[in-house]
Amino acid sequence: MPARSADDAPAEQLPHVGTVLGMATGTPLPTLPVIITDPSDRETRQRLTRRARRLTQLGLAWHALEAAIAIAAGVIAGSVALVGFGADSVIEAAAGLVVLWLVTGERLSSRAAERRAQQLIAASFLLLALYITIESARDLIAGHHPAVSWAGVALAAVTLVAMPPLAAAKRRVGTAFGSSATTSESRQTMLCAYLSAALLVGLLANAVAGWWWADPAVALLIAAVALSEAREAWQGESCTCC
């Protein structure tokens, strides 16, 4: 009886083509399904997105109140450090809006959106550093003596306590996302705590010891830190120390 060719074989007896092992041995292999992202991963990402949004909204509300108090108290007392602190709050609010935009929709998966967010946050740091440097240098040269501001002292003390936990929470969310822009914004929140500590020292030095120069000196320190943060945010570096 002549041997039948593969073309004459029933379809069900043909080896599965398209797999090297199947063609070599004639052993049918199971078809692997297309791998779909684990629903639990999607749920985790959605939960992190909601958390990031809530933290950013909380930060925005705080910075709005902080900016209003600091700028008003700074203008009344003639304190460049207080006004600079209030300006920092405005810029932090702008950075928060950037992150809020970033976590909306699918932008966290977009490299272009991530990069634009980093650049906007870096620009906010740079603007703050330039403003404070100019105002502080002018006050030091002119020998401007700011008035005592107990409202500023109270604001600095409250901010010093409130900002580190908020910054840490934002950093954890940013790290979980793998988002440098979100983590950079958490650094800006932590910078607010550093600023409040320096501001508190400067305001108390002026109020208790009469060291008027402490106010612009602290402001220059704030500017130096902000400039460093601008460089790191622009380069896309993320910090895990905040």
- Report the CATH number that the domain containing residue 198 is assigned in CATH: 1.20.1510
Residues 133 and 179 reside in one and the same domain: yes
Stretch 157-175: mean pLDDT: 87
Structural domain boundaries, residue 90: 39-235
Please answer whether residues 199 and 85 qualify as being in contact, where contact means their C-beta atoms are separated by less than 8 angstroms.
Answer: yes
Residues 53 and 25 reside in one and the same domain: no
Residues 70 and 24 reside in one and the same domain: no
Please answer whether residues 193 and 167 qualify as being in contact, where contact means their C-beta atoms are separated by less than 8 angstroms.
Answer: yes
Per DSSP, 148 falls in state: P
Lowest mean pLDDT among 31-45, 122-136, 142-156, 168-182: 31-45
Domain count, the chain: 2
Residues 114 and 20 reside in one and the same domain: no
Residues 134 and 24 reside in one and the same domain: no
Domain presence at residue 140: yes
Stretch 84-98: mean pLDDT: 79
Measured distance CA(190)–CA(134) in Å, rounded: 23
Q: pLDDT value at position 241? A: 37
Look up the pTM and report it: 0.66
Domain presence at residue 114: yes
